A and B are shown apart, each in its own frame.
Chain A
């Protein structure tokens, strides 16, 4: 099995590429977490069962490929038939027989399974033509939904590890770093620090041990890009880490994976084992004399462990408390040795940059922000999922073209980027190009790639309260400004949400925010007040409605809202009466119902079952 040298790798590539082409038609079943949750494994089983007793020319069970996440999770389970790109959504096991007999054998389309564009209401045949995919530019996610995540042969078939072979045989470590610097690749984990520069600093520190760590902690609640890459294309992350290791002179690497991502651990471990078995990882890689090992560390559920110094402590088996960075962790990191820490997506970009060259990469994106960025486009948008766009694409293109606009055609209110360290941008900012610098200037930040779309039913005070409560529970407690400051900010938002807030509280909050930013030890506290600052900046009216009018315009803050029946709309179907666990609704069949405010707990059960939308929350 061992690949002894780069020439053998090229031969393997040819062999596996031919193998991947051996069937004229291929069925791709998305097996990302979303599709699995929707029953994708049942689809795979159904194909296996159905094909077991069929004898179809040029099509066997091996032509059914389980891939990583396509990104269009809400439409899952997804099935794509290549090479044409026939795209079926919401597939059920009972559809499998017709997919084989009609679409595969006789080339017929199954209309009901096609995707319907939410804007034009047209059915679309091929996935390339679906707006959700058409406006994307996939580099870091290049293999997702294309190759089997768990098969190293498929990765080698798409020229995987060719970049590594090229680097090891033709370039010096300095040349690799020069190329990465030239490409302009900036860290995708949030800060946007130039990757090549970090590598150079690390290489220049004299030490017998250098380390490479991949940050797969993905703490931003509402983001799943890194998860999808680790699950769907683990080899590209490993290859990126190996190239980095060669460049900085590291022999040992670690991948720190978030506790909630068990499948990512399984796939990464399989990829590591396969590489070891093939001589691509371990001692004397591809016969070049270069050696490198990778170990997986699982996080244990602490947001702060995404921060570099906390993460390194956690890898060492300790409590994940950050330290003051008088000396940066690239100089003195894991076990006090020079360490490069990069994000999953950053590493996934490295192989293709080395393969196609820095000039190619720089030609994509915009000034000072080369390449692409993956986002998890979620919230109140019609097409939710995992996307990747060229830097400089506007928010409007992302939300309205790729995302298909807001659910139920409601008005757009805000988009949140940057996770708990980021901010909310209003409608006036929709034409902002998405890149590191523009987002920061607008008072938000790129962050790791969560992009949460909000409509008029999202309360901005509640959003600020939400992020603050998240940060209060995740603050490690080591420094006072963060521990006590964020706590007080959270208490004050609670006060406003319950209608007890005053305008003096807002002033207090703005002042306190500045102290927290200046005084905190690590990025968690330094950026903690951002969700409050950006919402007060762009949505002050909404805060004032809570304070002056004791009103929550979005209908979210429980103390300030009531549920009432709109009599003209109520058909008297008694669905809400049955649904209410508190016996708060009464009324006769076919007559308008009535909600008793003294009993109503505002749990929303009635709204969820009311077909004519006759319950108003105000």
Chain B
């Protein structure tokens, strides 16, 4: 998966879509699967979904842009999710975010040019008792400190 947007294997797409009931109610669930597979929603996938469910592409697009979980641009290999929920905010999440952003040279919502890292902020990941929390892909890091924030990027 070193490559960026252009060369994806779309052969799995029909299978991903066909796993769900082919009615408009499945739209969000199908987009979630596509997001998981490709780590974003490629244009081809949106078109295929619209066709399969027989809904206008504009509707697929409106759903894809409404929900925070979906991205229309490719994400890095490792997605760093900084929790900025209330419990984490009170315990200094903003300072942690500054550290990580400075270290990677990108802002939240962006991806490094080598496609290694993306930074996202998320309002609560449900581990509030260990605030402040940072996730690297699906791994939780609790009790992150300003001076240890950079380290967690290394061990993923």
Best-surrounded residue of B27, B84, B131, B133 (most CB of chain A within 10 A) = B131
How far is the CB of A553 from the nearest CB of chain B, in Å? 16
How far is the CB of A474 from the nearest CB of chain B, in Å? 8
Chain A 294-321, CB-CB to B under 8 Å as 1, else 0, gives 0001111111000000000011111110
How far, in angstroms, from A223 to B83 measured CA to CA in the complex?
A: 13
Contact of A604 with B95 in the complex, beta carbons under 8 Å: yes
Chain A 6-35, CB-CB to B under 8 Å as 1, else 0, gives 000000000000000000000000000110
Residues of A within 8 A of B133 (CB): 37
Stretch at the interface among B4-12, B72-80, B118-126: B118-126
The contact of A222 among B63, B70, B102, B128, by CB within 8 Å, is B128
How far, in angstroms, from A419 to B85 measured CA to CA in the complex?
A: 10
Residues of B within 8 A of A581 (CB): 102
How far, in angstroms, from A470 to B130 measured CA to CA in the complex?
A: 21
How far is the CB of A523 from the nearest CB of chain B, in Å? 17
Residues of B within 8 A of A104 (CB): none
B107 located at the interface, meaning its Cβ lies under 8 Å from any Cβ of chain A in the complex? no
How far, in angstroms, from A223 to B63 measured CA to CA in the complex?
A: 26
Given contacts A320-B66, A379-B87, A466-B89, contact A605 B128 (CB under 8 A): no
Contact of B123 with A303 in the complex, beta carbons under 8 Å: yes
Contact of A260 with B122 in the complex, beta carbons under 8 Å: yes
Given contacts A221-B123, A260-B124, A302-B66, contact A34 B86 (CB under 8 A): no
Given contacts A466-B89, A604-B92, A608-B146, contact A224 B128 (CB under 8 A): yes
Question: Which parts of B31-74 form the interface with A (CB within 8 Å)?
Answer: 31-32, 62-63, 66-70
The contact of B129 among A74, A220, A319, by CB within 8 Å, is A74
Contact of A218 with B126 in the complex, beta carbons under 8 Å: yes
Contact of A73 with B123 in the complex, beta carbons under 8 Å: no
A143 located at the interface, meaning its Cβ lies under 8 Å from any Cβ of chain B in the complex? no
User: Who on chain B is nearest to A379 by CB?
Assistant: B90
User: Who on chain A is nearest to B93 by CB?
Assistant: A466
How far, in angstroms, from A581 to B129 measured CA to CA in the complex?
A: 29
Residues of B within 8 A of A303 (CB): 123
Q: How many residues of A contact B (CB 8 A)?
A: 63
Contact of A37 with B29 in the complex, beta carbons under 8 Å: no
B24 located at the interface, meaning its Cβ lies under 8 Å from any Cβ of chain A in the complex? yes
Given contacts A604-B92, A608-B145, contact A221 B69 (CB under 8 A): no
Given contacts A38-B142, A466-B89, A470-B123, contact A317 B128 (CB under 8 A): no
User: Who on chain A is nearest to B81 by CB?
Assistant: A260
How many interface contacts (CB-CB < 8 Å) are there between A and B?
158
The contact of B147 among A299, A317, A608, by CB within 8 Å, is A608
Contact of A385 with B129 in the complex, beta carbons under 8 Å: yes
B13 located at the interface, meaning its Cβ lies under 8 Å from any Cβ of chain A in the complex? no
Residues of B within 8 A of A474 (CB): 123
Given contacts A259-B69, A300-B70, A378-B128, contact A452 B86 (CB under 8 A): yes
How far, in angstroms, from A378 to B62 measured CA to CA in the complex?
A: 36
Residues of B within 8 A of A72 (CB): 129
Contact of B126 with A317 in the complex, beta carbons under 8 Å: no
The contact of B128 among A262, A320, A376, A466, by CB within 8 Å, is A376
Question: Which parts of A31-73 form the interface with B (CB within 8 Å)?
Answer: 33-34, 36-38, 71-73
User: Who on chain B is nearest to A71 by CB?
Assistant: B129
Contact of A603 with B98 in the complex, beta carbons under 8 Å: yes
How far is the CB of A272 from the nearest CB of chain B, in Å? 16
Contact of A380 with B127 in the complex, beta carbons under 8 Å: no
Contact of B32 with A300 in the complex, beta carbons under 8 Å: yes
Given contacts A222-B85, A384-B128, contact A317 B91 (CB under 8 A): no
How far, in angstroms, from A601 to B94 measured CA to CA in the complex?
A: 13
How far is the CB of B58 from the nearest CB of chain A, in Å? 11
How far, in angstroms, from A466 to B139 measured CA to CA in the complex?
A: 26
How far is the CB of B136 from the nearest CB of chain A, in Å? 12
Residues of B within 8 A of A222 (CB): 85-88, 124, 128
Contact of A34 with B142 in the complex, beta carbons under 8 Å: yes
Contact of B26 with A300 in the complex, beta carbons under 8 Å: no
A450 located at the interface, meaning its Cβ lies under 8 Å from any Cβ of chain B in the complex? yes
User: Who on chain A is nearest to B24 by CB?
Assistant: A317
Residues of B within 8 A of A385 (CB): 129
The contact of B26 among A317, A604, A607, A608, by CB within 8 Å, is A317
Contact of A605 with B146 in the complex, beta carbons under 8 Å: yes
How far, in angstroms, from A222 to B67 measured CA to CA in the complex?
A: 20
Given contacts A37-B142, A604-B95, contact A221 B124 (CB under 8 A): yes
How far is the CB of B99 from the nearest CB of chain A, in Å? 7
User: Who on chain A is nearest to B121 by CB?
Assistant: A473
B116 located at the interface, meaning its Cβ lies under 8 Å from any Cβ of chain A in the complex? no
The contact of A319 among B66, B69, B126, B138, by CB within 8 Å, is B66
Contact of B67 with A224 in the complex, beta carbons under 8 Å: no
Residues of B within 8 A of A458 (CB): 90
Residues of B within 8 A of A300 (CB): 28, 31-32, 67-70
Contact of B32 with A416 in the complex, beta carbons under 8 Å: no
User: Who on chain B is nearest to A264 by CB?
Assistant: B126
Contact of A224 with B66 in the complex, beta carbons under 8 Å: no
Residues of A within 8 A of B129 (CB): 34, 71-74, 224, 376, 378, 384-386
How far is the CB of A132 from the nearest CB of chain B, in Å? 11
Residues of B within 8 A of A37 (CB): 127, 130, 133, 139-142
User: Who on chain A is nearest to B90 by CB?
Assistant: A379
Given contacts A33-B140, A262-B138, A379-B91, contact A223 B124 (CB under 8 A): yes
How far is the CB of B29 from the nearest CB of chain A, in Å? 7
26 chain-A/chain-B pairs, Cβ below 8 angstroms: A33-B126, A33-B140, A37-B142, A38-B142, A73-B130, A221-B85, A222-B86, A227-B126, A262-B138, A298-B32, A301-B69, A302-B67, A316-B24, A317-B27, A318-B24, A376-B87, A379-B86, A452-B86, A452-B87, A454-B90, A458-B90, A603-B98, A603-B99, A604-B146, A605-B146, A607-B146
Q: Which 4 A-B pairs rank lowest in CB-CB distance, beginning with the nearest?
A: A301-B68, A221-B85, A222-B86, A37-B140
Query: Can you add 10 more A-B contacts, CB < 8 Å, to A37-B127, A298-B28, A317-B63?
Result: A37-B130, A38-B142, A74-B129, A221-B84, A222-B85, A222-B86, A224-B127, A301-B69, A450-B87, A467-B86
Binding site for B on A (CB under 8 A): 33-34, 36-38, 71-74, 218, 220-224, 227, 258-262, 297-303, 314-320, 376, 378-380, 384-386, 416, 419, 450, 452, 454, 458, 463, 466-467, 470, 474, 476, 579, 581, 601, 603-605, 607-609
Binding site for A on B (CB under 8 A): 24-29, 31-32, 62-63, 66-70, 84-92, 95, 98-99, 102, 122-131, 133, 138-142, 145-147
